[in-house]
Each structure stands twice: as structure tokens, then as C-alpha cells.
Chains A and B, each alone.
Chain A
Amino acid sequence: MKFGIASILLLVGILVLIPCLPAMAQTSGNITITMSGAKEFSINLTPANWSFGTVSPNTENKTDLTQFNLTVDPTSSCAVNTYISGEDAVWADDPKAYNWTLSSNENNDIRKYALWFKLKDTESYIPITKTQTQFYSSTLGPGDSKQFGLKLLTPQPDFTKGGTDYFSVGAATMQTHITISAVVA
């Protein structure tokens, strides 16, 4: 009985040691690990939706300068440059049937609207166009945030009835989108 148990243990020991034989042929080994830390980052713009409510033709509408907030994720590993752009506004019910073009020169017209942003604690509004323009003049680091507001100049009226100006679509929702992009500084 004792001989049988000893034989089994010996056999198991041999089987376990066989794969280790090559490693045991040397006394030490070195492994060099090389890594390049990625510049990881993300930004967050809030709120995701905002309504100016009911607007009239050819009028300015402003939000509070703290209405929107851009934040660079604190876990980001680098500083970023930021850019802002806008789009044409479309009739939410039927985007192909009616739209307002986003102005490229701060002037409105029939079916052309203008949009600006202004950072809190800055002096002036900066136009938002369909071309990306710099959002913040310097880089933003991890955890940095910037509050800003929008100014909207609606298009000139499509028609006038009873002395009141109107757009061609009534009781309608016009929808647009602004995008802020961040790239590694």
C-alpha cells in the first residue's frame, strides 16, 4: 500500500516537472516591457437639449451665460484645443420641406438665421458658423470647464399678415445642433 502511494506521488511529480525542464535550464530571464502612454480624453457638453421657446421673426434671443457647460473629463490625460460649429436649422416635422440656413456673416435674411456664443466673463459674442472656429482661446486641461451662453437672431419674416410677421411654418419646431470638438493640444 505504501509502495503504491509513493509510486503515484512520484509519477505526478515527474509529470508536473516535465514542462518546467527548459526553464530550469537557465538561472534567470529578463523581459523588457515598453509602453507609450496614450493621450486619452473626453469632453462633456450640457445640457444636451435646449429650447428658446416661441420665437418671432427678426428678433434676438439670448440664453443666460451659464446655460451651457463644457467640461474636460477629469480622467483625461492631456490638454485639448476646442472648436465649435453649427448647422442649418430644419423643420423638425419635415426637414426637407423647410429650413433656415446658418449665416456665415452674422447677418440674417429670409430663411437665414445667425448664432453666436459668449463665454462667461468674456466681453463679446463670437459667431457660430458651419465652419469650426476656436471655442476657447487657450487649451483646456483635465477637469477644466467653461460656461457659455448663446445668442440667436431669427430669420426675417417669410410673410406678414394683419401687421404681424410670420414664418412659413406655424406652430412648428425648428431644430438645429451645435457641436464642440476637442483635439489634443
Chain B
Amino acid sequence: MVITILAAIILAAICYLPVMAADNSTGGTTITMNTTSVLAISLSQAGWKPAGEKDVSLNTTYKTDLPANWCYITNEGNANVTIYIKGEDAKWLRYPGQPEPYDPSYKWALCSIDDNGKNVYALWYHIAGDTADSYTLITKTETAMEWTRDGKGILNLRKHGDTQQFGLKLLTPTYFIGGRIMQTTIIISAVAA
């Protein structure tokens, strides 16, 4: 009899269990759409005269007027891009005021070891938001631009309109032949990240 009563209680409890279940149900579908991509960047500056209209001096450092905000790099496309930078040797363009032919035999080599020398010059960049007065060397090897500050990493422009600012620093050679107009080019490029 006792066993019968216990069995009845258990059965009753089992019958009540479903009543505690939820009274609604949902189903969902995740919808995805992919977008087309285009790569393009622009620079707000096309040239820099480190000493303005004056001549540069031997073994002298020059910085852009705005050390961190001189030039804007803007993502004119929509791809997530990594920004790379490289420099080159400075070539003898001509004598001032004269249409002298370019002579490739004379140049200032772009240093690769963070130092200048005889007919060897150095270039650096500083990205806005980096540690004050911290600069990264520009070499002839294409390298991703990056902050020196820990955790900031390389420079990516992830979507259309994203922009970043930077400035330049130049150290002239310890010796050069004066009176010659020297010209170099910095190439900044975007590569899909």
C-alpha cells in the first residue's frame, strides 16, 4: 500500500512537469551580404622643402612644421589597407636657377642604420598619436608604417574616409657638395590587409 501511494505521488509529479515549460518558441536565420572592394589612398602633401627657400646645412636635422600632423593619409577606397613606406637615394636634380641636366653620378644615399655620413642622409616619420618625438627610420625597403608605442601596431586604414596624420624628419649628410639641388621621393602605398 505504501509503495502504491509513493508510486502515485511520483506519477502525479511527472504529469505536472511539462506545465513548467516555456510558452513561446523562436527560430532565427543569420543573413550575410558581401561588399565589393576598391583600393585607393590620397596624401594631403605632394612636396616638402626642409629649409623652405633656403639651403640646407651639413649634418642638420629638419622636421616638418607639424611634427605629427603635417600630412594626411586618407583611405579613398573602402578596403582595409595597411600603409607601407619607403624612401630612395636623393638625386642631384640641377644647379639652382639653371636647367642643368640631371647627373646620376652624384647622390646622397639613404642610410639604413639610423645614422648619416658623408653623402649619406637619413629620413624618419612620426605618426600622430605616437610617443612624443619618437621617430621611425625610412629605408629603401618597403616597410609597414607603425607606431613605436606598445600596442598601437601597424597603420591600417580600415574603411572609406579613415585617415591618419604623420610628419617627417630629415638629417642631412655630414658632408656634401654644396650648391646642388637634391631631390628624393618618399613612396607611401596601400596594400590590402
- A residues with a Cβ closer than 8 A to B are 19-20, 23-24, 29, 31, 33, 35-56, 61, 68, 70, 80, 89, 92-94, 97-98, 150, 152, 154, 158-159, 161-162, 164, 166-184
Contact = CB atoms under 8 A, between A and B. Distances in A.
Contact of B38 (A49, A164, A183): A164
Consensus secondary structure, chain B interface? mixed
Contacts, number: 174
A182 B26 contact: yes
Interface in B59-89: 76-80
B34 interface: yes
B77 A170 contact: yes
Given A31-B8, A35-B15, A161-B77, A180 B26 contact: yes
Interface in B1-35: 1-2, 5, 8, 11-12, 15-16, 18-19, 21, 23-35
Given A33-B15, A40-B18, A170 B36 contact: yes
A56 B35 CA distance: 7
Contacts of B161: 159, 168
B40 interface: yes
Contacts of A43: 25-27
B140 interface: no
A35 B11 CA distance: 11
20 contacts: A29-B5, A31-B5, A38-B18, A38-B19, A42-B25, A51-B31, A52-B33, A55-B34, A161-B76, A164-B38, A166-B77, A169-B160, A170-B160, A172-B37, A175-B31, A176-B31, A177-B30, A180-B26, A181-B26, A182-B25
Contacts of B27: 43-45, 70, 179-180
Interface of B: 1-2, 5, 8, 11-12, 15-16, 18-19, 21, 23-40, 76-80, 158-161, 192
B21 A40 contact: yes
A14 B141 CA distance: 101
A47 B30 CA distance: 9
Nearest to A179: B28
The 5 A-B pairs of least Cβ separation, nearest first, read A45-B27, A170-B37, A23-B1, A170-B78, A171-B37
B33 A152 contact: yes
A97 B158 contact: yes
A42 B36 CA distance: 39
A64 B12 CA distance: 49
